[in-house]
C-alpha cells in the first residue's frame, strides 16, 4: 500500500491530493493544525467510504520542535514512505510581524523551515520506497521576492508580502540544494506551482482581504480537481532528474536565478546553523 504524508492535507490542494489517493486505496497521513479541519476530513472520508486508510495528525508546523517530533514519530511508525507532499501554508499578508516561540519569523518557520525539517528528516523512510517523491507546492520559479540574507527573520524591514515571497524563494532553493546535499538519494524532488486555485486560503485572511481574495479566486481560480491533475502525474511518474520545477503541466527551466545552486547551498548551510 502506498503511504504518503500530506502537510496541509486538510484543505485546498493538500486535501485534493489526500482525497485522490484515498480513493485509490493509499494510506494518507494528513497534517494540519486545527481540530476542526481534521474532523471535517475524517467525516468526509467516512461518508465517501474511500478505500484507503486516513490518518489525521494535528501538528502546528510553525514550531520546529513540533516538526521534529512529527518526523521522529513518522519514521518510527512508517518504515516506508512513498511520498511527501508539502502544502501547509498560512499567508499573513497584513498585520505586523509574528515571531514563533522559537524566535523565527512566522512565514519563514511555517512555509520554509517545516518543509526543510520534513524533507530532510523523513529521508530514511522515503529512501526505502521504490519510487520516492517529495512535492513542494508553492510558486517555484516566480520572479518575485528574494532572500534577505542580512536579515532572514525580517526583524528590521518586515512586510507580510515580503515575508511570504521570501518563504517561496527559500523553497525554490530548498529543492535546488537537494541533489547537491543528498547526492546518493533516490528521492525525486519536485517543485510544483498549481496556478491560481479556489481553495480554503481566503478563509484564514482578515477582512477585507478575505472578501477580496475569495472574489478573485472565484473569478480567476481553477478548481482543486483540475489543479492537482499534473501533480498526481508527477507523483505517479516522476521525472528522471533529481530536482525539477513545474507550473501545472509546464516544466520550468531550473537554470533560472531563483534556483541558483550557490545560493541554494548557502541557504542550506545557514538553515542548518539556525536549527543547530
Ligand atoms: N491557492 C492558490 O491559488 C495557490 C497558488 C500558488 C501556490 N499555492 C500554494 O499551494 C499550497 C497549498 O495552498 P492552498 O491554497 O491549498 O491552502 P489552504 O486551502 O489555505 O490550506 C492550507 C493548509 O495548511 C494547513 N496549515 C496552516 N497553518 C498550519 C500550521 N501552522 N501547521 C500545520 N498546518 C497548517 C491548513 O490546515 P489548518 O488550518 O488545520 O492548520 C490547511 O490544511 C501552499 O503552499 C500555497 O502557497 C496556492
How much distance in Å is there from the Cα of 89 to the middle of ligand 1? 4
- Kindly give the distance from the C-alpha atom of residue 199 to the centroid of ligand 1, in angstroms, as a whole number: 8
Nearest atom in ligand 1 to 33's CA:
41
Cell of 198: 479556489
Q: Report which protein residue has its CA nearest ligand 1's atom 40.
A: 34
3-class DSSP assignment, residue 177: helix
Measured CA to CA, the distance from residue 48 to residue 242 in angstroms comes to: 36
Give the per-residue pLDDT at 186. Answer: 96
199, 202, 245, best to mutate for ligand 1 pocket (most atoms within 8 Å of CB): 199
Nearest-CA neighbor of 37 among 78, 99, 88, 109?
Answer: 88
* pLDDT at res. 85: 98
In the prediction, which pLDDT does 28 show?
98
| For ligand 1, atom 47: residue with the closest CA | 138
- pTM beyond 0.75: the answer is yes
Q: Give 223's strand partners.
A: none
Of 128, 31, 127, give the one whose Cα is nearest residue 88.
31
- Ligand 1 pocket (Cβ < 6 Å) reads 8, 10-14, 31-34, 37, 59-62, 87-90, 110, 137-139, 193-194, 196-197, 199-201, 221
**Within a 10 A sphere around the Cβ of 45, how many other Cβ atoms?**
20
Q: Which of 15, 29, 30, 32 to mutate to test the pocket of ligand 1 (most atoms within 8 A of CB)?
A: 32
Question: Tell me: the pLDDT tens digits for 161-185?
Answer: 999 999 999 999 999 999 999 999 9
CA dihedral of residues 113, 119, 124, 125 (deg, nearest 10)? 120
* Dist. CA 191 → ligand 1 center (Å): 15
Please report the pLDDT score of residue 148 as a whole number: 98
Which pLDDT score, from 0 to 100, does residue 202 have? 83
SS3 of the chain: helix, strand, coil, percent, to 5: 45, 15, 35
Instruction: Specify the pLDDT at position 220.
Output: 85
Residue 13 CA, ligand 1 centroid: distance in Å = 8
- Which segments of the chain have a pLDDT < 50? none
Using the mean position of ligand 1's atoms as its centre, give its distance from the Cα of residue 47 in Å. Answer: 24
Q: Ligand 1 mean position to 2 CA, how many Å?
A: 23
Amino acid at each position: 500500500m502506498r503511504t504518503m504524508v500530506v502537510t496541509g492535507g486538510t484543505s485546498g490542494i493538500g486535501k485534493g491530493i489526500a482525497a485522490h489517493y484515498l480513493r485509490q486505496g493509499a494510506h494518507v497521513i494528513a497534517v494540519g493544525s486545527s481540530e476542526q479541519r481534521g474532523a471535517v476530513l475524517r467525516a468526509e472520508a467516512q461518508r465517501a467510504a474511500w478505500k484507503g486508510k486516513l490518518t489525521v495528525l494535528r501538528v502546528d508546523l510553525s514550531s520546529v520542535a513540533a516538526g521534529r517530533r512529527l518526523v521522529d514519530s513518522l519514521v518510527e511508525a512508517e518504515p516506508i514512505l512513498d511520498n511527501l507532499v508539502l502544502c501547509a501554508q498560512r499567508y499573513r499578508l497584513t498585520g505586523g510581524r509574528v515571531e514563533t516561540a522559537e524566535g523565527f519569523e512566522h512565514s519563514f518557520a511555517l512555509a520554509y523551515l517545516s518543509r526543510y525539517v520534513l524533507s530532510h528528516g523523513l529521508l530514511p523512510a522515503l529512501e526505502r520506497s521504490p519510487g520516492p517523491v517529495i512535492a513542494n507546492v508553492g510558486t517555484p520559479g516566480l520572479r518575485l521576492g528574494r532572500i534577505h540574507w542580512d536579515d532572514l527573520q525580517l526583524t528590521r524591514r518586515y512586510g507580510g508580502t515580503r515575508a511570504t515571497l521570501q518563504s517561496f524563494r527559500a523553497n525554490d532553493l530548498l529543492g535546488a540544494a537537494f541533489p547537491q546535499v543528498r547526492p546518493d538519494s533516490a528521492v525525486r524532488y519536485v517543485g510544483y506551482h498549481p496556478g491560481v486555485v479556489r481553495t480554503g486560503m481566503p478563509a484564514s485572511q482578515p477582512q477585507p482581504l478575505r472578501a477580496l481574495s475569495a472574489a478573485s479566486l472565484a473569478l480567476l481560480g481553477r478548481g482543486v480537481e483540475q489543479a492537482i491533475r499534473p501533480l498526481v502525474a508527477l507523483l505517479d511518474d516522476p521525472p528522471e532528474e533529481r530536482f525539477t520545477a513545474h507550473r501545472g503541466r509546464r516544466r520550468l527551466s531550473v537554470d533560472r536565478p531563483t534556483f541558483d545552486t550557490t545560493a541554494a547551498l548557502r541557504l542550506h548551510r545557514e538553515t542548518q546553523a539556525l536549527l543547530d
